Amino acid sequence: GNSVTQMEGPVTLSEEAFLTINCTYTATGYPSLFWYVQYPGEGLQLLLKATKADDKGSNKGFEATYRKETTSFHLEKGSVQVSDSAVYFCALSDRGDDKIIFGKGTRLHILP
Amino acid sequence: DSGVTQTPKHLITATGQRVTLRCSPRSGDLSVYWYQQSLDQGLQFLIQYYNGEERAKGNILERFSAQQFPDLHSELNLSSLELGDSALYFCASSVGAGAGRETQYFGPGTRLLVL
């Protein structure tokens, strides 16, 4: 079945550091890929998405590229801020399927 | 603020009891999704309704049921509660039916504690 695997946290970085959160997926078809973010005490928000191979999603300085050959969708940001502290979820939805499958989430702490 | 509202914010109850969680989608959204977030299982899709009809089913237990009303709000009913049902329950909404193609907007969640 379809699944998403992302790096376990917590990840702790200093402000202005470079961020990578790894995400790989298994899917039988051609999925759409997502990154969602959950700030403390809030629901999930869509951060970015990509719907086909080689697409790059970007938002708020975050980027992720849909790599079909490595079945990956790693999240990157060049210079993190304290306000980026949150839990980040990688997710996929297969074409024709109405379900979104989430990874277990990666908690990110940014130190000032 | 996503525009999705959920009530109550917190719920504390005992094993064996039944509770109802309520969700109002964003104005204009026809789809409502329910998710359960727990420490051991992560974020799990439970069920989706689109314009009053069940559209997709995930890992929803038989003790759980949901419905979407003509005004498009939705309720998730959890019965014969067990300790393991303690979790954060999220509702999300989208304009259309296809979860993969639509952006889902999440509510703030209902935290359920079963004692």
pLDDT, one tens digit per residue, over A83-95 is 999 999 999 987 6
Cβ–Cβ gap B100/A31 under 8 Å: yes
pLDDT bracket for residue B100 (50, 70, 90): low
B59-96 pLDDT, tens digit per residue, is 899 999 999 999 999 999 999 999 999 999 999 999 88
By CA distance, what is B108's nearest residue in A? A43
Angle at A6 between CA A5 and CA A12, to 5 degrees: 165
Task: Quote the tokens at residue B101.
Answer: 């193609």
What is the predicted pLDDT for the residue at B53?
95
Per-residue HEC secondary structure of B46-110 comes to: EEEEECCEEEEECCCCCCEEEEECCCCCEEEEECCCCHHHCEEEEEEEECCCCCCCCCCEECCCE
Tell me whether residues A103 and B42 touch, CB distance under 8 A. Answer: yes
Residue to mutate among B39, B43, B93, B111, with most A CBs inside 10 A, is B43
Label residue B99 by pLDDT band (50, 70, 90).
Answer: low
Q: How confident is the model at residue A97 (pLDDT cuts 50, 70, 90)?
A: low
Instruction: Write down the pLDDT at residue A100.
Output: 83
pLDDT digits (tens, 9 = 90+) for A33-74: 999 999 988 889 999 999 889 999 999 999 999 999 999 999
Phi, psi (rounded to 5 degrees) for B95: -65, -50
Per DSSP, A95 falls in state T
Which pLDDT belongs to residue B93? 93
Place B104 in a pLDDT band, splitting at 50, 70 and 90.
confident
Residue contact A93–B100, C-beta within 8 A: yes
| Residue among A51, A98, A103 whose CB faces B99 most closely | A98
Percent of chain A with pLDDT over 90: 76
Q: How far apart are CA A91 and CA B37, in angstroms?
A: 14
**Rounded Cα distance, B75 and A7, in Å:** 34
Q: Other CB atoms closer than 10 Å to residue A12's CB: what's the count?
A: 12
Rounded mean pLDDT of chain A? Answer: 92
Percentage of chain B exceeding pLDDT 90 = 78
Query: Is the per-residue pLDDT at A98 higher than 70?
Result: no
Give B84's strand partners.
none
| Residue B102: predicted pLDDT | 75
Evaluate whether A35 touches A108 at the Cβ level (below 8 Å). Answer: no
Q: Which amino acid makes up residue A44? A: L
pLDDT of residue A86: 96
DSSP string spanning B10-46? EEEE-TT--EEEEEEPPTT--EEEEEEEETTTEEEEE
